[in-house]
Structure 1
Amino acid sequence: MIDFLASLKARNECLFYFGLLCLSSAALILIRSKFSDVQINGVNVLYKPFKFALSMGIFSLTMGWYTGYLISYKYINLYNWSLIIFLGFEVFYVTLQASRGQLSHYNVSSALYTSLTVAMAIAAIAATVYTGYIGILFCTENFPELPDYYLWAIRLGIFLFVIFALEGAVIGANGSPRVGGQGGGAIPFLNWSLKYGDLRIAHFVGMHALQILPLLAFYIFKDVRVVILVGFMYGLLALFCLVQALNAKPLS
């Protein structure tokens, strides 16, 4: 484990430290949530910033690992600081609002909160589009040291991530992650609806192609055609989750 962390740090030191900062923040927020009874929509108010910090930490470390393969250093440094600024702002604001017992997303109760909600959307879109550019670099640069099946998994993982990260715009336009109604049963902690459609499921499934596909390719499949097929099937799964949600149907 120590060797892995040392390798991760060497590949992209900026995203390594930022990722660790996010993960450490997630751990502290989770501990703090055990001593908080404040809820929003029936859920502990600190669960959302915990999930955000955890997600941003995993994403940053993942991209830190992948960008270690690239040779376009000047672009990578700019990418690093773009992620730190954009994602750092999101984690900070979501955590701040949770600590005050207030909504961060969908909060249009004042001009200031509306502006900050828009700012979060812009930050998320900018980080996502820039990550798409990193995906393009993986299609245009040469990687003679990487197995083709692993390289294709990284490409597919990044592009599926971008597509389903941008699905967040659908959630924002809907004004809620749920489609068809509010209330009803929900999966504990994740708070995904068991009664209505929930756009967060496709969002989650699609974005984590970034980690799942390369891991499957590197350790299990090890064949370009199989990896492409698995990537296609994975994309269909995420699309199915999206269609179910848009039709106000739960997965259960």
Structure 2
Amino acid sequence: MSSAHKSPLLRLHRPLVWVAVSMAVYALASAVGIVVDDRILVGVPIWTKPFKFSVSLLAYTLSLAWMISLLPRGRRVAWWAGTVVAATSSAEMVLITVQVIRGKRSHFNHATPFDDALFQIMGISILMLWLAALVIAILLLRAKILDRAMAWAVRLSSLIALAGAGLGFLMVRPTPEQLAVENSPIIGAHAVGVPDGGPSMPLTGWASNGGDLRIPHFFGMHALQLIPLLLLVLAALAPRFARLADERVRLRLTLTASAAYTATFVLLTWQALRGQALFAPDGATLAGAGAIVLLGGAAAALSLRGTSPSPTPSSPPSPFPPAPAPAPSEEEITR
């Protein structure tokens, strides 16, 4: 069976799907580890990081596998880029697991030559993953996907996810306290204004008494799922609400949601960089959040009111590209 005539599920990027499956299994194993292993590292159960990473990578790799299946052209380049993402994300999890077994920090750890080497390999892996994801994002920007709302949902979500992933590079900067120590064994931090391992939020482990770059990092990366999911919800509601059956309305709502998501990502990043806890916003942060809500709500209302229902509404988008029609037989050609 040619790739063009495969079913939608078979057109998914297989290495990424296998990583997603392995991450589902690993998430369960890590959850067991949290329960049965009483070791604490940087203020949280030692298996918390593998659990969070595996759940995040499960969602990320499945989303990327689906997006690659939408590409009408450049599939070979996208396949190799997706394979790089699969390989580097797997390597990241292996190295995190090695350090968990050893009872050591995986990130920012330069305490010994071995710890330093592992972290350097992790850094190279993440850089390669980011560059591969950039290649896929560029291919999506150039792709002609039939439904315009779906096209812009996957394009913009992939770009926001790249920005979210890029925040990881800010975390490796030494803190003022680390700069004050000669040959500090730990260089870099998740928290801003407070040390890692202090008071934290339940489950996430994010700092509750200061800024934490993991918050916008997480929020940005998971645009890859949330923005396309919003569009799929709009498509599911289209049979009940005539306006949502209009592709132009779905497109405007998608652009509005993407703009609001981007603004929220910027606001969360600004809040974290100022050393401000997520649930302790100051007046400036609250003003920014209020502006996003008001402007986003107004834009959504205008998106719904600004276009009259189309006399022949377009069909809701399919999450997979249509398979091309089979070639005519020799008998049909000679008729």
Normalised to the residue count of structure 2, the TM-score between the two structures is 0.70
* CA shift for structure 1 position 131: 1.0
SS in 2 for 1:173: coil
Amino acid at match of 1:242: T
Q: Show the counterpart of 1:178.
A: 191
- Contact 2:161 2:224 (8 Å CA) reproduced: yes
The number of residues matched between the two structures is: 245
2:108 maps to a residue whose letter is Y
- For 1:64, the aligned partner's letter is A
1:226 offset after TM fit, Å?
A: 2.1
Q: Deviations over 1:182-216 (max 9, x none)?
A: 25531112111111111110001111111001111
Determine which of 66, 75, 78 is the counterpart of 2:77: 75
Decide whether the 8 Å contact of 2:68 with 2:79 is kept in 1.
no
Which residue in the other structure is 2:45 paired with? 44
SS in 1 for 2:189: coil
**Offset at residue 133 of structure 1 (A):** 1.5
Which letter maps to 1:101?
G
Structure 1 residue 95: Cα displacement: 1.2
Residue among 257, 260, 276 paired with 1:249? 276
Matched residues in 2 for 1:45 and 1:123: separation? 22
Gaps of 5+ in 1: 1-5
- Identity of paired residues, percent? 26
The amino acid that maps onto 2:194 is: G
1:26 matched to which residue of 2? 27
Shift, 1:112, TM fit: 2.6
2:263 maps to which of 228, 233, 236:
236
CA distance in 2, matches of 1:191, 1:164: 18
Structure number with higher helix proportion: 1
Correspondences of 1:156-167 after superposition (within 5 Å): 156-167=156-167
Structure 2 portions without partners, runs of 5+? 1-6, 175-187, 235-243, 280-335
How far does residue 9 in structure 1 lie from its aligned partner after superposition?
4.6
3-state SS of paired residue (2:109)? coil
Q: Is the 8 A contact 1:138 1:155 kept in 2?
A: yes
Once the two structures are superposed, the pairs formed by residues 41-190 of structure 1 within 5 Å of their partners are 41-70=42-71, 71-144=73-146, 147-174=147-174, 175-182=188-195, 184-190=198-204
| TM-score between both structures, scaled by the size of structure 1 | 0.92
2:321 match:
none
* Partner amino acid, structure 1, of 2:56: S
Counting only pairs closer than 5 Å after superposition, residues 209-220 of structure 1 correspond to structure 2 as 209-220=223-234
Q: Which residue identity lines up with residue 81 of structure 1 in the other structure?
A: T
Larger Rg: 2
Q: Secondary structure at the match of 2:172?
A: helix
Q: Which amino acid aligns with 2:99?
A: Q
Quick one: distance in 2 between partners of 1:55 and 1:97? 19
Contact 1:202–1:242 (Cα < 8 Å) also in 2:
yes
Structure 2 partner of 1:3: none
Give the structure 1 partner of residue 314 of structure 2: none
**RMSD of equivalent CA atoms:** 1.6
- Equivalent residue runs for 1:3-14 within 5 Å: 7-14=8-15
2:126, 2:271 → 1: CA distance?
A: 24
* Structure 1 residues 132 and 148: CA distance shift in structure 2, 3 A: same
Residue of structure 1 in register with 2:293 after alignment? none
User: In 2, Cα distance between the equivalents of 1:214 and 1:230?
Assistant: 10
Q: After TM superposition, give the deviation of residue 233 of structure 1 in Å.
A: 1.1
